[in-house]
Chains A and B, each alone.
Chain A
């Protein structure tokens, strides 16, 4: 059987599969379904300094082979995540990647400083790409200079490696990737959702109360693969790829394009057991391809 473990800055991954931020809460619901220690890592829901309620409902809408969401970074706030959610997750043998969000640069710095002290948080994921909040989020992810400055500020306080989550809603994603690398990022995660809109057939008005939402699911995979492919060529730091992953073949595609690990988002709603299923399926798929170590997959499109 192929070896599917992967080492990344701060992360010893048993396998390259992890649930994507916002699609897995803080793990509690899925822990009722399977042993979370099976996962390579867990990307927890975005955490902000203060608790957030998020956007009005409807917050989700279905689209062809995908969905739109405008949750609006609802989360219980830094204090509760530190005192309740992260300690609870310690019962599992799994590294946690903390998704950090905010409105101002100082918010990111404050959350990063504290949350990186938690013993099971092995890496941060700076969410500079949330399309669903009025302030912050995506504004940090669409301007290369601002993105670099944010990474520098967070790197100065974080006790663990810092990954930056890129937005696909830019004209040149490579430019942002290079900027965060210069800023000192240890890795890149990509992609966040694509801004979209669905109209109600009867009223002609947007289905989602927020108007726009972020598109995810199988429909976005070709865009995500293209972006991982481009960024891989342009940076030295590792990439955790995501966008429409539903099966082991999708994981192989992302890794071939240049990802070192892969996150699964929307597919968790379609099949809550999708992550353990992929983890089980992956070694078999690699055997079929005659690949001994999963590391040999990474970036093979470029060789």
Chain B
């Protein structure tokens, strides 16, 4: 169920250049699943006016906490990064449909591919896959070493490979360069990142089952305003989907890339 709640900041830490890890506590956590997002109002004034969509990166139902990892870039996310422990944040969520964790058979293997700030939702996914006895292979691309995060955490969950465009950390190049080299064996792939990366992956693994998480600029975040629509391929009946309420995760082949 979608709720609006004033959640409490229990932790906020800078974990890489301009990248923050924010832990919030509240009831919304109980309904959250990997790949879903929350829509955050960072200020009670009209500046900035709109909410900001951020993926849920780590869920802890017992402590009623979840973690968001975001890049402080524009006005909204910069102001979010100023929040202190004990502050309240207006959160709407959980929103959208996340990654289907049970798409991989028990004992199977999942390939998780992420790009930059698309990596965070794959953390909770990887945790839940591991809990189901699914082996995970992580292949994550970043611009440069300064903005990488969570390598150790992912390493405890499965095979982990980091790639940077400038070669300052891990292999030099794009995730697809490394995938070409690794030729991993897997049942299903899950991906979140920039559009060119998602497009490349769909072409890379035409025979495989895959799930992709999309980004689009949003108004309402709940499916009412038609801001976030994507055209679909001929394979699906609907002409369009809304990233906020039909997605952000779609099976491979649904969204026209």
- Let me know if A60 and B218 touch, CB within 8 A: yes
Q: Which residues of B contact A60 (CB under 8 A)?
A: 50, 217-219, 225, 227
**A289 part of interface (Cβ distance < 8 Å):** no
- Let me know if B48 and A71 touch, CB within 8 A: no
In angstroms, Cα B245 to Cα A277, docked, is: 24
**A74 part of interface (Cβ distance < 8 Å):** yes
- Let me know if A23 and B217 touch, CB within 8 A: no
Q: Which residues of B contact A218 (CB under 8 A)?
A: 46, 49
Known: A60-B219, A65-B46. A269 touches B231 (CB 8 A): no
Q: How far is the CB of B252 from chain A (nearest CB, A)?
A: 20
In angstroms, Cα B41 to Cα A43, docked, is: 25
Q: How far is the CB of B197 from chain A (nearest CB, A)?
A: 18
Interface centre among B4, B226, B239, by most A CB within 10 Å? B226
In angstroms, Cα B223 to Cα A32, docked, is: 11
- Let me know if B230 and A269 touch, CB within 8 A: no
- The secondary-structure label for the interface of chain B is loop
In angstroms, Cα B222 to Cα A32, docked, is: 10
In angstroms, Cα B228 to Cα A45, docked, is: 16
- The secondary-structure label for the interface of chain A is loop
- Let me know if A67 and B50 touch, CB within 8 A: yes
**A88 part of interface (Cβ distance < 8 Å):** no
Known: A60-B218, A61-B217. A270 touches B225 (CB 8 A): no
In angstroms, Cα B92 to Cα A29, docked, is: 13
- Let me know if B41 and A270 touch, CB within 8 A: yes
- Let me know if A59 and B227 touch, CB within 8 A: yes
Q: Which residues of B contact A65 (CB under 8 A)?
A: 46-47, 49
- Let me know if A59 and B92 touch, CB within 8 A: no
Q: Which residues of A contact B46 (CB under 8 A)?
A: 65-66, 217-219, 246, 270
Known: A32-B1, A67-B49. A269 touches B229 (CB 8 A): no
Q: How far is the CB of B222 from chain A (nearest CB, A)?
A: 5
- Let me know if B49 and A217 touch, CB within 8 A: yes
**A290 part of interface (Cβ distance < 8 Å):** no
- Let me know if A69 and B2 touch, CB within 8 A: no
Give per-residue flags for A247-288: 1 if the beta carbon is below 8 A from chain B beta carbons, else 0: 000000000000000000010111111000000000000000
In angstroms, Cα B226 to Cα A54, docked, is: 9
Known: A32-B1, A33-B2, A53-B231. A59 touches B223 (CB 8 A): no
- Let me know if B225 and A23 touch, CB within 8 A: yes
Give B76's nearest chain A residue, CB to CB: A62
Q: Which residues of B contact A25 (CB under 8 A)?
A: 223-226
In angstroms, Cα B48 to Cα A269, docked, is: 13
In angstroms, Cα B208 to Cα A224, docked, is: 54
**A22 part of interface (Cβ distance < 8 Å):** yes
In angstroms, Cα B1 to Cα A269, docked, is: 18
In angstroms, Cα B49 to Cα A246, docked, is: 11
Interface centre among A25, A65, A219, by most B CB within 10 Å? A25
Give A24's nearest chain B residue, CB to CB: B224
- Let me know if A29 and B227 touch, CB within 8 A: no
Q: Which residues of B contact A219 (CB under 8 A)?
A: 46
In angstroms, Cα B4 to Cα A246, docked, is: 17
- Let me know if B219 and A67 touch, CB within 8 A: yes
- Let me know if A32 and B219 touch, CB within 8 A: no
Interface centre among B48, B220, B225, by most A CB within 10 Å? B225
Give per-residue flags for B219-252: 1 if the beta carbon is below 8 A from chain A beta carbons, else 0: 1111111111111000000011000010000000
Q: Which of B1, B4, B223 contacts A273 (CB 8 A)?
A: B4
Q: How far is the CB of B22 from chain A (nearest CB, A)?
A: 20
**B51 part of interface (Cβ distance < 8 Å):** yes
- Which positions 33-64 of chain A face chain B at CB distance < 8 Å? 33, 45, 51, 53-54, 57-64
Q: How far is the CB of A84 from chain B (nearest CB, A)?
A: 14
**A92 part of interface (Cβ distance < 8 Å):** no
Q: Which of B50, B218, B240 contacts A270 (CB 8 A)?
A: B50
**B216 part of interface (Cβ distance < 8 Å):** yes
- Let me know if A62 and B226 touch, CB within 8 A: no
In angstroms, Cα B48 to Cα A30, docked, is: 23
- Let me know if A74 and B229 touch, CB within 8 A: yes
Q: How far is the CB of B93 from chain A (nearest CB, A)?
A: 11
In angstroms, Cα B4 to Cα A33, docked, is: 9
- Let me know if A23 and B229 touch, CB within 8 A: no
Q: Which residues of B contact A53 (CB under 8 A)?
A: 229, 231, 239-240
- Let me know if A29 and B223 touch, CB within 8 A: yes
Q: How far is the CB of B108 from chain A (nearest CB, A)?
A: 34
Give A72's nearest chain B residue, CB to CB: B226
Q: How far is the CB of A101 from chain B (nearest CB, A)?
A: 14
In angstroms, Cα B221 to Cα A210, docked, is: 21
Q: Which of A54, A69, A246, A273 contacts B219 (CB 8 A)?
A: A69
Residues of B at under 8 Å CB distance from A?
A: 1-2, 4, 41, 46-51, 90, 92, 216-231, 239-240, 245
Q: Can you list 5 A-B contacts (CB < 8 A)?
A: A33-B2, A57-B227, A57-B230, A63-B49, A272-B222
Q: Considering the complex of A and B, which 7 residue pairs feature the smallest CB-CB distances, nearest first? A: A25-B224, A65-B46, A29-B224, A60-B227, A74-B226, A29-B222, A269-B220
